[in-house]
Amino acid sequence: MKSLRAFLLIRQFEGCKLKPYKCPAGIPTIGWGSTRYPNGVRVSMKDPAITQSKADEMLLWDLHAFETDVTMLTKSVKLTQNQFDALVEFAYNCGTDIDIDTIPEGLGDSTLLKKVLANPNDPTIANEFAKWNKGGGKVLPGLIRRRKADADLYFTKYRV
């Protein structure tokens, strides 16, 4: 795992539930916010509970997949570790949106990514994180806090 700060933020904001539940956007989820199992099958509300060990394993599997996607999406720019980790955490929560359309459904087609690729140190990038504060069409206080944490991490110059 190369995104320790992303890992810590994901655990902080997701929490862990061993039985399937619906996230605020109404998507069946399990463990540390996983919507799919490592075999690609979507989580269903009818699925059995998983163990803590399985939840932790799924988080690491998901994290690696998002690290790979963010690496691919940002290969044309040099990012600090904190910038990379913030984008991985964002993608974990919002998706990577690697598809053929141009509809911003996650990081891939977002103005956030466009600004990162144009200038990773552009201070208006913080505003782009903040725009992703809705779940199920509603502004959620937890997402306001999460996007602030993403932006704060992104602009942190040094590890604490």
What digits encode the pLDDT tens for the residues 15-59?
Answer: 999 999 998 888 999 999 999 999 999 999 999 999 999 999 999
Rounded CA separation 109/100 (Å): 10
pLDDT score, position 136: 82
CB count in 10 Å sphere of residue 79: 17
Is residue 103 pLDDT above 80, yes or no? no
pLDDT score, position 117: 97
Active-site pick, 14, 67, 89, 128: 14
Q: Considering only CA atoms, give the Rg of the chain.
A: 15
3-state secondary structure of 22: strand
CATH number of 4-154: 1.10.530.40
Q: pTM of the prediction?
A: 0.90
Q: Is 57 labeled as catalytic in the residue annotation?
A: no
Rounded CA separation 32/134 (Å): 19
Mean pLDDT throughout 113-123? 97
The answer to whether 5 touches 11, Cβ cutoff 8 Å, is no
Please give, one letter per residue, the 3-state secondary structure of 27-85: CEEEECCECECCCCCECCCCCCCCCHHHHHHHHHHHHHHHHHHHHHHCCCCCCCHHHHH
